[in-house]
């Protein structure tokens, strides 16, 4: 039985790995900004809403909750974009399973945006109408 070969692309442990991970994360954000219109739109929405979180939230926890919903949208959009990029790399032809994966990732974004809407509407009503 042969010894498995180490993957040359697998990162090494230590501080250098942490720096590389940060570099890869920045590259991912740059790619999303360059190639993904939905990410840019959602980021713009977040930029507008972040200051409002400090107006609508009356406690630190409420502000954190409002901000967390925004970060969740960006996180899920990045995962959705990654799935789409991989799927498009595999084939541009129609494939039922790839289509299903892309639709489910899109549904995840839909639920995140629904969560943001419900949460933020609740806090607007609570702050200004109750």
Active-site residue identified among 36, 42, 77, 84: 77
DSSP class of residue 52 equals: H
Residue 80, CB-side half-sphere exposure with 13 Å CA sphere: 23
Cα–Cα nearest to 122, from 57, 75, 54 = 57
Is residue 6 part of the annotated active site? The answer reads no
Cα–Cα nearest to 127, from 44, 63, 42 = 63
Q: Give the residue numbers annotated as catalytic, written as ranges.
A: 77
């Amino acid at each position: 039985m042969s010894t498995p070969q180490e993957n040359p692309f697998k990162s090494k442990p230590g501080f250098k790995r942490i720096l590389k991970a940060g570099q890869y994360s920045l590259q991912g954000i740059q790619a999303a900004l360059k190639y993904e219109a939905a990410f840019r739109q959602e980021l713009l929405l977040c930029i507008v809403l972040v200051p409002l979180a400090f107006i609508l939230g009356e406690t630190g926890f409420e502000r954190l909750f409002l901000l967390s919903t925004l970060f969740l949208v960006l996180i899920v959009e990045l995962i959705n974009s990654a799935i789409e990029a991989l799927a498009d790399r595999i084939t541009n032809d129609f494939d039922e399973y790839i289509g299903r994966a892309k639709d489910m990732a899109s549904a995840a974004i839909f639920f995140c945006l629904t969560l943001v809407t419900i949460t933020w509407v609740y806090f607007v009503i609570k702050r200004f109408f109750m």
